[in-house]
Structure 1
Amino acid sequence: MNNIIIVLGAPNDARGNLSQIAQDRLNCAYNLYQANPSFRIVCTGGFGAHFNPTEKPHYFYAQKFLIDKGIPDHVIATGVPSTNTITDFQLSKKLIEEENPDILIIITSDFHIERAQILYKRYIAYPKVVFIPAISSLSKVELAPLIEHESGAVKRLLEEEV
């Protein structure tokens, strides 16, 4: 079977240390892979002042995290050098079309999944997709502004469709 997991990128610091959001997403991918070792994993994330100020793309740190947890190198596909959720999907589209996976799984944070689904439909709309929310381990105080941001972003996207 040709199965792919795409893990959407999240912030890392200037030393390449992954944020808790990124770790939550990658741990979700790791756990899914452990139960389904036929999947290949694609990590997204390039550069950006708001999420990766290092000299290496975010996907480098994400891939290293997964390999350090024991995922074999050959399972990790070439990373996607995106800068945000829109470019995650714009830059992944060609890979998805070429690979034509039997199952495509998109992993992102639970608080981000609604916006990711809207953007996915707008930019890719590949039919054999399943979205899996990585449960956030952030505190309620840390989550509140993220949920507020996502709520506003979803509202704006839905208004654009009208």
Structure 2
Amino acid sequence: MVRTYAEIQALLDGRGETPSASAIASLVPEGPLLLILILGSTNDAAGKPDGDVALRARLAVDLYRRACAAGRAALVLPSGGVAPGFSFNPTERPHWECVAAALEDAGLPAAALLRPGLPALHTVEEALLCRTLASHYSSRAGCGELQLLVLTSCFHAPRTRHLFGLCFGPHTALPLRCDVASVPTCWDASARAAREAHEAAALEALRTAPFGPWLDYLRAARIEAANRSRRWSRRLEPSPAELMSLAEGGAMAAAIGECGQAMEACDVSSAVPK
């Protein structure tokens, strides 16, 4: 299923089936907000998400708790959609519900979970939907500054940084702060290498031969030239210490992280499949 850029934007129309700026504003009526977006992965026919979702959820909950302890307002937004024949999610309910369940299992309070989640089917949709949601929120009178922190697995981080790096920042019409944190993966070395190869090819295609909704967005934003560059993705990876500082509201220096860098805040041992 391929949705156009206009169709993706139209998903966030406030019908209650998708996250809305008004829902966020009702939970955080004033002041700055840290929005932690946990990207989707896969789940089986029973709705059980893979091990990487558990790792992302654990870090999301830790960061949420740190933000609260520092007196910051924070919400966690799960992502993942549903569509006929969608191999990543062979159920009839959106994947974000599986992610939400993993977040609650990891200890996230129900009040911190933004429902409904993003109904995205892939990373391009996640970036574009998040941009639309953030734009709606930032344009509301009385809403405070929005900071976005995206969590994904290490092999997926380079493509995520590229997409979100072109959706947020001073070179776009939405210069809010966005960071992408890479979380260790539960996959073994062979599977991880295969995924890294797939991601590298997908990223190269996005940069050199964009198509579909991503190309539509680039043309609408007039940043096709920026898409061919790696400049905007290099600033989106915080180090572990800076990640904690972001959650706690401290100042962050620019940093370039390694894709496979293990987050000190995330103990992965119990999430690796036996």
Give yes or no for TM over 0.5: yes
2:123 is aligned to 85
* Per-residue Cα deviation, 1:78-97 (whole angstroms, up to 9, x for no partner): 20111000111222222212
* Structure 2 unaligned blocks of 5 or more: 1-31, 139-144, 210-226, 229-274
- Are the counterparts in 1 of residues 36 and 151 from structure 2 also a CA contact under 8 Å? yes
Measured after TM superposition, the shift of residue 124 of structure 1 is: 4.5
Superposed structure 1 runs of 4+ greater than 4 Å apart: none
1:14 to 42, 45, 49: 45
SS in 1 for 2:150: strand
SS in 2 for 1:81: coil
* Per-residue Cα deviation, 1:53-107 (whole angstroms, up to 9, x for no partner): 1111111111111122221111111201110001112222222123334321011
Q: Distance in 1 between matches of 2:178 and 2:67?
A: 16
- Are the counterparts in 2 of residues 12 and 22 from structure 1 also a CA contact under 8 Å? no
1:120 to 164, 181, 185: 164
SS in 1 for 2:205: helix
- Are the counterparts in 2 of residues 90 and 124 from structure 1 also a CA contact under 8 Å? no
Equivalent positions of 1:1-162 (< 5 A) are: 1-37=32-68, 38-48=73-83, 49-78=86-115, 79-100=117-138, 101-125=145-169, 126=174, 127-160=176-209, 161-162=227-228
Measured after TM superposition, the shift of residue 122 of structure 1 is: 3.3
Higher share of residues assigned strand? 1
* Structure 1 unaligned blocks of 5 or more: none
- Normalised to the residue count of structure 2, the TM-score between the two structures is 0.55
Cα root mean square deviation, aligned = 1.7
Measured after TM superposition, the shift of residue 31 of structure 1 is: 2.1
Q: Distance in 1 between matches of 2:137 and 2:35?
A: 9
SS in 1 for 2:124: helix
Q: Distance in 2 between matches of 1:110 and 1:140?
A: 12
Aligned residues: 162
Q: Distance in 1 between matches of 2:168 and 2:179?
A: 13
- Are the counterparts in 1 of residues 168 and 177 from structure 2 also a CA contact under 8 Å? no
Q: Higher relative CO (CA 8 A, sep ≥ 6), structure 1 or 2? A: 1
- Normalised to the residue count of structure 1, the TM-score between the two structures is 0.90
- Are the counterparts in 2 of residues 11 and 51 from structure 1 also a CA contact under 8 Å? yes
Measured after TM superposition, the shift of residue 34 of structure 1 is: 2.4
Q: Distance in 1 between matches of 2:136 and 2:121?
A: 22
Letter matched to residue 99 of structure 1: Y
